[in-house]
């Protein structure tokens, strides 16, 4: 078992050891900064009183170590009856640093309370002035408690955030756990202000009072030791608080960079229940939402073409439309009914998918939009939803590419024993109403008008004229008006065709 895994498994015991060590260091620091006692009669009586109650004094001193151990043990035992994913268990684990830090100084508070009781008894029995002793003891208790609390809380909080909680909860999401700590940003800086500014000032004020009132000369080493301890505390607090913000922000930046590169699976793990933890969980929720939206956008772009998708996603979702000059293409498979009768449905679907994929590549290459799949036929738009000045020429180029692509697909299908496919393409240019058509709660982007009907009828003429491509006179005129058409096969007149629903005949061309 690796040390990290071992530490996480038995972290409560390590935390307890850290509490003991912190209290020991606090005692060591206090011994270097204790106020010297004046040589007065009450002090001589107090020293004699303490000597006669040495056993009680020793028990009192041991309580500073025993009480925190017992209380911390009882706090940790509470977690045993809950499951790891239970909110109560999570609350206990998240709040261990604060709980251990508070319980770790209970002994010093109890020691002061017991000592105060002894002093009151000493005052009542002997009538001695104990003000100096009470103030000195109070200052020492505050100093040792503050130092022990600081060492315990920040050490355990750092280990909890960076080692224990990430290992126990790799998915995070513990920021909503009820907070029992000073780890909120506001309280953290208030504590820092008190520890690094208010308490040192109060301590120095007490020293000045003792110096003048009791005429005590402090040793030279006292100032050096006390200043060094305060500087060390301030430095440690500064580094730890700086780290509290630096590490999470680095994780956030790294994850943000991943998302900017399109990796929406990027997550940032900030295991805390302060504002940084909330920010981390919100960031992960945002990444998840972006992933879902990208998935829906990608899926939407497969149900409708990307151009129409982008058109609709720019809030063009109202019913109605606009009149545009476009070229409409219809492409239909010849003899599809007979083909489907001789093949299993699953093979028909597979063949159609390959066929439509090949045609879609040709259409997209020339700026076209497949607006509808109608069984084995497709309806393609050029010039909508994005207007184009070369929509007819683009349609003609796409038709030539589709013809070439079908030849290649038929070769591949022949090798696999599949039947040959033939199609007919009809192209017509003219005005249409392009926009969202349908009900208020269910609509589609499409085009309607005589141009659409005529294009469909021209595609139907391919059977009569025995051609795979027919182009109307209006579309042919637009194609021939483009200089780029000179590099393409010339259009050839086929016939004056009658179209159902039209009184006048329509000239059709092919290539």
Query: pLDDT tens digits for the chain (511 residues)?
Result: 577 777 877 787 888 888 878 877 777 766 665 555 555 566 666 667 666 666 766 676 676 667 777 888 888 777 777 777 677 777 778 888 888 888 888 888 887 887 787 777 767 766 666 676 777 778 778 878 888 888 888 888 888 877 887 777 776 666 666 655 556 777 778 877 877 778 777 777 776 776 666 666 666 666 677 777 778 777 877 887 777 777 788 888 888 888 888 888 888 777 776 777 777 878 888 888 878 777 666 654 555 556 666 665 665 544 567 888 999 999 999 988 777 777 888 888 889 999 999 999 999 899 898 888 888 999 999 998 888 899 999 999 999 999 999 999 999 999 988 888 999 999 999 999 887 777 766 667 788 899 999 999 999 999 889 999 999 999 999 999 998 888 899 999 999 988 877 778 889 999 8
Contact 151, 22 (CB under 8 A): yes
10 Å Cβ neighbour count for 132? 20
pLDDT the model gives residue 317? 44
Structure tokens of 12? 């409560």
Which pLDDT value is given to residue 391?
A: 94
Contacts of 12 (CB under 8 A, 6+ apart): 76, 96
In the prediction, which pLDDT does 424 show?
A: 95
> CA nearest 426: which of 468, 366, 374, 381?
468
Residue 221: φ, ψ to 5°: -65, -20
pLDDT value at residue 332: 93
Indicate the pTM of the whole model: 0.54
What confidence score (pLDDT) does residue 427 get? 97
DSSP-based three-state secondary structure for 326: strand
Query: What CA–CA distance (Å, rounded) separates 140 from 119?
Result: 15
What's the pLDDT score for residue 310? 66
Helices 96-104/87-94 angle, 10° precision: 50
User: For position 175, what pLDDT does the model report?
Assistant: 64
Cα 73 from Cα 94, distance rounded (Å): 16
CA distance 376 to 360: 13
């Amino acid at each position: 078992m690796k040390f990290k895994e071992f530490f996480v498994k038995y972290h409560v015991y390590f935390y307890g050891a850290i509490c003991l060590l912190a209290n020991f260091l606090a005692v060591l620091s206090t011994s270097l900064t204790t106020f010297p006692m004046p040589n007065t009669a009450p002090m001589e009586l107090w020293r004699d009183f303490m000597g006669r109650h040495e056993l009680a004094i020793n028990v009192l001193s041991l309580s500073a170590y025993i009480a925190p151990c017992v209380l911390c043990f009882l706090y940790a035992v509470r977690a045993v009856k809950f499951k790891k994913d239970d909110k109560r268990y999570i609350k206990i684990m998240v709040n261990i640093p604060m709980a251990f830090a508070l319980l770790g100084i209970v002994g010093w508070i109890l020691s002061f309370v017991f000592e105060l009781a002894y002093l009151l008894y000493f005052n009542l029995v002997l009538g001695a002035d104990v003000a100096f002793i009470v103030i000195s003891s109070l200052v020492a208790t505050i100093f040792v408690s503050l130092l022990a609390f600081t060492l315990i809380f920040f050490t355990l909080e750092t280990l909890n955030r960076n080692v224990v909680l990430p290992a126990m909860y790799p998915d995070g999401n513990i920021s909503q756990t009820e907070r029992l700590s000073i780890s909120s940003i506001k309280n953290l800086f208030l504590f820092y202000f008190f520890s690094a500014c208010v308490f040192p000032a109060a301590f120095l004020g007490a020293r000045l009072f003792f110096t003048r009132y009791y005429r005590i000369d402090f040793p030279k080493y006292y100032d050096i030791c006390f200043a060094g301890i305060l500087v060390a505390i301030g430095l440690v607090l500064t580094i730890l608080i700086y780290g509290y913000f630096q590490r999470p922000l680095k994780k956030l930046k790294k994850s943000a960079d991943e998302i900017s590169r399109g990796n929406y699976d990027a997550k940032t793990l900030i295991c805390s229940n302060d504002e940084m933890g909330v920010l981390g969980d919100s960031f992960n929720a945002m990444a998840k939402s972006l992933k879902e939206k990208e998935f829906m956008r990608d899926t939407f772009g497969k149900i409708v073409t990307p151009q129409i998708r982008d058109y609709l996603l720019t809030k063009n979702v109202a019913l109605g439309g606009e009149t545009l000059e476009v070229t409409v293409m219809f492409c239909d498979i010849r003899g599809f009914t007979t083909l489907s009768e001789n093949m299993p449905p699953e093979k028909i679907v597979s063949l159609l998918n390959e066929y439509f994929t090949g045609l879609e590549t040709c259409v997209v290459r020339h700026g076209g939009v497949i607006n509808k799949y109608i069984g084995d036929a497709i309806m393609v738009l050029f010039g909508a939803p994005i207007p184009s000045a070369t929509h007819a020429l683009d349609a003609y180029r796409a038709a030539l590419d589709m013809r070439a692509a079908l030849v290649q697909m038929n070769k591949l299908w022949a090798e696999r024993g599949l039947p040959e496919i033939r199609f007919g393409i009809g192209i017509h240019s003219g005005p249409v109403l392009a926009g969202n058509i349908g009900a208020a709660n269910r609509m589609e982007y499409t085009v309607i008008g005589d141009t659409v009907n005529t294009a469909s009828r021209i595609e139907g003429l391919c059977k009569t004229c025995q051609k795979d491509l027919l182009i109307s006179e209006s579309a042919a005129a637009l194609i021939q008006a483009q200089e780029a058409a000179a590099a393409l096969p010339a259009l050839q007149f086929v016939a004056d065709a009658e179209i159902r629903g039209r009184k006048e005949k329509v000239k059709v061309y092919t290539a």
